[in-house]
Amino acid sequence: MALDPITAILNVGNSLIERLIPDKNAQEQAKAALVQMQAQGELSQLAGQLEINKTEASSSSLFVAGWRPAVGWTCAAGLVSQFIISPLATWLASLLGYPIRYPELDMGTLLTLLFGMLGLGGLRTYEKTQDVVHKH
């Protein structure tokens, strides 16, 4: 495992590209884009953000370390509301003779936020499957 974060990000990125993109030509294009990002300094910004994330997560303040879980739970509550509570409430109200229209959430925004968070979680899952150990 590489010691500097930029090389580690490149290695993880290349591994993900190889697993997610079956076409060799598309893989090469994606890897070239990753190298171009490194050349433009975008990966160093990402590495800096990862360090900020680690510092936030280790904070004892709920307002510093707790915002990510709060966003995650908000996404989960939105999904439960939209896909479980809404259909059941609408069905039950209809059975009782009180047809209602349950308010709908903007699922585009919610799913964009959720997929972004799951993408970060997906990288951690990849690290766990590769037995990557973080020393603190």
3-state secondary structure the chain: CCCCHHHHHHHHHHHHHHHHCCCHHHHHHHHHHHHHHHHCCHHHHHHHHHHHHHHHHCCCCHHHHCHHHHHHHHHHHHHHHHHHHHHHHHHHHHHCCCCCCCCCCCHHHHHHHHHHHHHHHHHHHHHHHCCCCCCC
What is the predicted pLDDT for the residue at 19? 76
What is the predicted pLDDT for the residue at 1? 47
Number of domains present in the structure of the chain: 2
> Within this chain, do residues 27 and 75 fall inside the same structural domain, yes or no?
no
Predicted confidence (pLDDT) at residue 119 exceeds the cutoff of 70 = no
pLDDT, tens only, 63-118: 667 777 788 888 889 999 999 999 999 999 999 999 888 888 888 888 777 777 76
Per the structure block, which two tokens stand in for 102?
């349950």
Confidence of residue 28 (pLDDT cuts 50, 70, 90): confident
For the chain, give the percent of residues with pLDDT over 90: 14
Domain hosting 26: range is: 1-60
> Within this chain, do residues 47 and 78 fall inside the same structural domain, yes or no?
no
